Amino acid sequence: MNKLFLSILDLQSAIDLVEKKINTWFNGLVKMMPNLFLSAIILVLGFLVAKWLKKMTESLFRRISPNRSLAGLFSSMVQVFFIGVTLFTVLSVLNLDKAVTSVLAGAGIVGLALAFAFQDVAANFISGVFISFRRPLVIGDIVKIGGYMGRVEDVNLRDTIVKTFQGQMVIIPNKEVLQNPIENYSLLGKRRMDIRIGVSYGEDLRRVKEITLEAVKDIEGLMTPTDNTFFYEEFGDSSINFALRLWVRSPEQMVYLHVGSEAIIRIKEAYDLHGIMIPFPIRTLDFGIKGGTKLSEMPIGFSKLAD
């Protein structure tokens, strides 16, 4: 009997405790109603303002840089940042300051871990941002980056895609693009071609220069004849060597190759017409060096062919 009575008392005590807790929570909820209502308003307004800020930021960045990826990225960053501020404000209104502190501490630890894990990705991303603002190259430019030469097909926030003249698509990380020299052949709108030739020591050098410049002056695709230059460079082993520098009107590879091919053909035809000789390389064989056998002392024999 006593045990039953004690059990009833324990049950009643538990019920009283639950009722007390419920009353406490209800009273707290009633007291928090203004804060909850204010938090809901702040949350809704915050999301609306964040959406509006995203559109405004994207429009502004498109005026600064034509890179749509960059504009979309920065506008999304502004939106996420404002949403974060809104959420922290809501937590503060609800008197959840400890939760705010815990969230900030956790975000800092997670951010540090991600920074170490994705440092190469972050480096490429930051390089992509610099490239988008500095614009050392744009889509369609003919460039040479790290030994790869071709046309720029795409520039995004992580890598740059170049289509080489052999037809391969090369994906170059933006970090490599920013850290290596960039040869941009499209900036000037023209390309220089250097052709090196040698003529015989017996030729009249002034006459050779005149005939050479005359041969290439009206090639289609070249700049004006006054842009072509001719310089003798050295006394070679079997020829006097010179450099002919031509400026091609277009940076396009096919135009560049066509002009070079036509120049070589015309120079060879002009030299044949005027009797100018381009000497062959000369090699001297010395059989009398120390430790060797003179050619006159070497036995010469003939093997009999089998019948």
Q: Stretch 29-54: mean pLDDT, rounded?
A: 78
Neighbours of 240 (CB within 10 A): 19
DSSP 3-62: HHHHHHHHHHHHHHHHHHHHHHHHHHHHHHHHHHHHHHHHHHHHHHHHHHHHHHHHHHHH
Please give the single-letter amino acid code of residue 178: L
Task: Report percent pLDDT > 90 for the chain.
Answer: 29
pLDDT tens-place string over residues 151-175: 999 887 788 899 999 989 999 998 8
User: In whole angstroms, how far apart are CA 258 and each of 84, 214, 217, 261?
Assistant: 59, 18, 15, 5
Tell me, what's the pLDDT at 213? 94
For residue 63, pLDDT over 50 is answered with yes
What is the model's pLDDT at position 65?
A: 65
What 3 state SS string does 220-248 have?
CCECCHHHCEEEEEEECCCCEEEEEEEEE
**Selected residue with higher pLDDT from 296 and 142:** 142
In this predicted structure, the answer to whether residue 138 has a pLDDT above a threshold of 50 is yes
Judge whether 93 and 73 are in contact, CB under 8 Å.
no
> What is the domain class of 26-117 according to CATH?
mainly alpha
Identify the DSSP state of 249: S
Could you check whether 26-117 and 191-274 share the same CATH topology? no
- Provide the residue type at 192 as one letter: R
**Residue 136 burial class via C-beta count within 10 angstroms: exposed 0-12, middle 13-18, buried 19 and up:** middle
Closest CA to 215 of 163, 179, 141, 265: 265
Q: Which own/partner contact pairs does 64-70 have at CB distance under 8 Å and 24+ positions apart?
A: 64/133, 65/132, 65/133, 65/135, 67/132, 67/155, 67/157, 69/132, 69/156, 69/157, 70/128, 70/129, 70/132, 70/157
More confident residue, 88 or 271: 271
Query: Which residues does residue 246 pair with via DSSP β-bridges, in sequence order?
Result: 193
Domain ranges within the chain, ordered by starting residue: 26-117, 134-184, 191-274
10's tokens = 């324990």
Answer for the pair 217, 179: CB distance below 8 angstroms, yes or no: no
Spatial separation of the C-alpha atoms in residues 191 and 173, rounded to whole Å: 27
Q: 134-184 has which CATH code?
A: 2.30.30.60
Tell me which of 65-79, 139-153, 208-222, 289-303 is least confident: 289-303
Tell me the mean pLDDT in the region 205-233. Answer: 91
Average pLDDT taken over every residue of the chain: 79
Q: Does domain 191-274 have CATH number 3.40.720.10?
A: no
Q: Is the pLDDT of residue 306 over 50?
A: no
- What 3-state class would DSSP assign to 81? helix
